[in-house]
Every structure is written in C-alpha cells, then in structure tokens.
Structure 1
Amino acid sequence: MMKKAPNLKRTIRTKSKSNVNIGPASVAMIELLTVVFLKSLAEEAKAQAFGEKSATIKAQHIKAVSKKVLKKARG
C-alpha cells in the first residue's frame, strides 16, 4: 500500500507559477493536506460501501461521496 501520492512534489512545482518560489515547508503542508483529503474521501467511500453491503470500495462509491467531501473540505 502506498503511503503518499506518487510524484506529488514534482506536480506541485510544475503547477505553480514559475515566478513564485515554494518553500519546502509549504510543499510539506500541501502534501499533508492532500493525504488528509484522500483519507477522508476513503473513509466516506468506505461508509458508503458498507451501507450498500459491499465488501470493497468501488468507483461508484467514490463518485457518490466526492461532492460531499469536497464541500466539507472547502469549509
């Protein structure tokens, strides 16, 4: 099982504007926020799958809860 998203640091650096320097602490915070978001998405999808009496989390479960998790993440 992967513990973090692959190549996340490189993705953050390429998507940022070229004239803005991003410090290592900021990159670490972005990584932590991404991991926390993915964990909450997985927990909600697990609850959705459990409610449908499914043993595995499928794409349909993720799609069903993604809007709710995004609203919660925005505040």
Structure 2
Amino acid sequence: MKRTVSRSTLKGLVRRHKPHLRMTANIDLLVHLNFLLFLHRLAEETRTKAIADKSKIIKYEHVLTSAKIILKKSRG
C-alpha cells in the first residue's frame, strides 16, 4: 500500500480532532480499511437505488441520495 500521508501526519490529524483517543501503531491501515468499507457500502447502496429506479446505468442522482443515507448510518 502506497501511503500519500505519513503516519505522523495522520496521527497528528486524528489527535487534533479527538485528543482523548488512544491510537494503535497501525492507525493508517485502519483508516484506509474504514475508507474502503465506506466506498463498498456506498457502491452497494447506489446499485440498489439504481435498480429500484429501474435504471441500468448508475447516475449522479443515485450516488447523491445514497451518499446521504450512508453518511447518516456511518456517523456513529
């Protein structure tokens, strides 16, 4: 996996937003995996929306409505 952001920069960003959290050494991998899971959920939800609209092509509107739903679910 090629890193575009160094581990120390990523730790600094997380520490600035959530200073009370304890972080593991492999936080960059966990952030990357979390991002991939989010994209997977977004793709599945978008495909479901397109099928519900009886569309063979995934359009921008499908992605936009799916993104709102997925962001609400992933806020935690």
Identity over the aligned pairs, expressed in percent? 31
Report if the CA contact (8 A) 2:41-2:70 is conserved: yes
Deviation at 1:57, TM superposition (A): 1.4
| CA RMSD across the alignment | 2.8
For 1:1-75, list aligned pairs within 5 A. Answer: 9-11=3-5, 17=12, 25-75=26-76
Structure 1: runs of 5+ lacking an equivalent: none
Larger Rg: 2
Moved over 4 A (4+): 11-16
How many pairs were matched up? 67
Structure 2: runs of 5+ lacking an equivalent: 16-22
Cα displacement string for residues 27-46 of structure 1 (whole angstroms, at most 9, x for unaligned residues) = 11011000000000010000
TM-score (norm 2): 0.69
